[in-house]
């Protein structure tokens, strides 16, 4: 099966999996996933699977990317904070769906590669930096949307503080070697409205986060 045929099959599979946002489907079709996949795995570019990118991280399974991004309710008038940009693949997709993307990655080498790839795609609405994602980006807060691509045992409190009232955060919750679930939180008067979007597996959100819990 040729790469174009594989891509078409993946997009059809995503539709069957419940991905209905036309802007998101268009972004998934337009962003060349192979640009973000290591050479050794190019033959698996359009398979619905996670692939290693080094530093103990992966480029996420397209179905997981699509489910999490769709849960944000993308809006081109809003800005989004992405925690854990990894290869930059999801970052590139977000750049088609939001006015401004702020991306944080703790591994400097991955952040540099992601920025180079996104610049090569001429996506000029992305700002990235290397750092502790659990601290967020307070200089640009509040954010109407926050997407966390690493698992936390609880809602990261500093990220929650930077989410605008009425805003949406999508974040995997669970222990590193235990069950993890994709959770969607809507901030209403500082109290989360919670929706469980199903099981997932992510690397842990490594941080020195404040010892404060958000009641859910």
Task: Read off the pLDDT of residues 77-135 as tens digits, 9 standing for 90 and up.
Answer: 999 999 999 999 999 999 999 999 999 999 999 999 999 999 999 999 999 999 999 99
pLDDT score at 208: 47
173-182, pLDDT tens digit by residue?
988 777 899 9
Nearest CA-CA partner of 142 in 111, 166, 106: 166
- What is the C-alpha to C-alpha distance for residues 5 and 27, in angstroms, rounded to an integer? 17
Per-residue pLDDT, 212:
43
Report in angstroms the alpha-carbon separations of 5 from 19, 60, 119, 195: 19, 21, 27, 35
Write the CATH number of the domain with boundaries 3-199: 3.40.50.150
Q: How much of the chain exceeds pLDDT 70, in percent?
A: 94
Please state at what angle helix 22-30 crosses helix 3-16, rounded to 10 degrees: 160
Domain map of the chain by residue range? Answer: 3-199
142 secondary structure, DSSP code: -
Tell me what the pLDDT averaged over the chain comes to: 91
Q: Tell me whether residue 60 is one of the annotated catalytic residues.
A: yes
CA distances from 213 to 74, 155, 216 (A): 27, 7, 9
Identify the band that residue 189 occupies on the pLDDT scale cut at 50, 70 and 90.
confident
Q: Which of 60, 87, 95, 149 is catalytic?
A: 60
Is residue 62's pLDDT more than 80? Answer: yes
DSSP class of residue 195 equals E
């Amino acid at each position: 099966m040729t790469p174009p045929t594989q891509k078409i099959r993946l997009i059809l599979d995503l539709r069957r999996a419940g991905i209905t946002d036309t802007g998101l489907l268009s972004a998934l079709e337009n962003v060349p996933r192979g640009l973000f996949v290591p050479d050794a795995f190019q033959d698996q570019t359009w398979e619905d699977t996670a692939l290693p990118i080094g530093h103990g991280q992966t480029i996420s399974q397209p179905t997981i990317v699509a489910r999490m991004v769709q849960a944000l309710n993308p809006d081109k008038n809003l800005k989004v904070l992405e925690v854990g940009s990894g290869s930059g693949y999801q970052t590139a997709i977000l750049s088609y769906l939001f006015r401004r993307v702020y991306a944080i990655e703790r591994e400097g080498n991955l952040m540099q590669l992601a920025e180079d790839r996104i610049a090569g795609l001429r996506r000029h609405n992305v700002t990235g930096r290397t750092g502790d994602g659990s601290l967020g980006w307070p200089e640009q807060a509040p954010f109407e949307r926050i997407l966390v691509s690493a698992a936390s045992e609880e809602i990261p409190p500093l990220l929650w503080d930077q989410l605008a009232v009425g805003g949406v955060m999508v974040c995997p919750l669970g222990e590193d070697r235990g069950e993890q679930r994709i959770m969607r939180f809507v901030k209403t008067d500082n109290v989360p409205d919670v929706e469980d979007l199903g099981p997932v597996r992510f690397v842990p959100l490594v941080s020195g986060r404040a010892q404060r819990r958000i009641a859910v």
